[in-house]
Structure 1
Amino acid sequence: MITCVVHYTIDPAQIEAFERFAREWMRLVARHGGVHHGYFLPAEGASDRAEALFSFESLAAYERYRARFGSDPEFVAADRIRDESGCVVRYERTFMRPLLPDES
């Protein structure tokens, strides 16, 4: 399993647009074989940070999902929310492998 952790710097004035953007990507990840663990939005402290975590069974599965970017109409529409609202100032992706508790 591979987990993608996305660190966002967001525009706090556009939080509603960011939530619309996030809901679309949660749906798209699930629809295309991934498991979305959610978006984590500011509650206290820094108001311009958000995080997202989602997993695919392998890097190859993630790359099949990623190949739809820029061409699949649903992916383009989801990105349009971000682009037109300016809700995302910048983002950084990190790939990690989870270490899960042993099942006893």
Structure 2
Amino acid sequence: MFVDLRTYTMFPGRLNTFLDLYEREGLPIQKKHLGEPLGYFITETGTLNQVVHIWGYESAADRERRRQAMESDPDWIAYRRKSAEAGNVQHQTNKLLRSASFSPM
């Protein structure tokens, strides 16, 4: 399994605005192209105002194919523009993880 671990840090006070827009407009598009996320979380301790989401793929090539289709989708392009204009995200990190041979996933 190949895992895409994404962490978005919001400006203080902007977390719910981000989540509302994403759930209403972004998530349906991502599900269409990427399938269901493995998880979608909000930090409770440590660095606050963060959203962490995890997507699973069969391989790096599978991830590339699905994300390329999503990035070409006019609805996704419109959502990304609207999300950027809202100015919620302060910082983003992205980690691509490959399962160890003994991992249960």
**Superposition TM-score tier, normalisation by shorter sequence:** 0.7 to 0.9
Whole-Å separation in 2 of the counterparts to 1:43 and 1:28: 27
Distance 1:26 1:3, change over 3 A: farther
Deviation at 1:25, TM superposition (A): 4.1
- Pairs within 5 Å for 1:43-82: 43-67=44-68, 68-69=70-71, 71-82=72-83
8 Å contact from structure 1 (residues 26, 38) kept in 2: no
Over aligned residue pairs, what C-alpha RMSD do you find?
Answer: 2.2
Q: TM-score, normalised by structure 2?
A: 0.75
Fraction of identical pairs, as percent = 27
SS in 2 for 1:18: helix
Matched residue SS, 1:32? helix
In the alignment, the residues of structure 2 paired with residue 25 and residue 61 of structure 1 have an alpha-carbon distance, to the nearest angstrom, of 20
AA in 2 matched with 1:27:
P
Tell me how far 1:6 sits from its aligned partner: 0.6
For residues 74 and 42 of structure 1, what CA distance do their matches in structure 2 show?
28
Q: How many residues align?
A: 100
Offset from partner CA, 1:12-37 (integer Å, 9 cap, x none): 32122221344244433331243302
- Looking at secondary structure, tell me which structure has more helix per residue: 2
Q: Which runs of 5+ in 1 are unaligned?
A: none
Q: Secondary structure at the match of 1:30?
A: helix
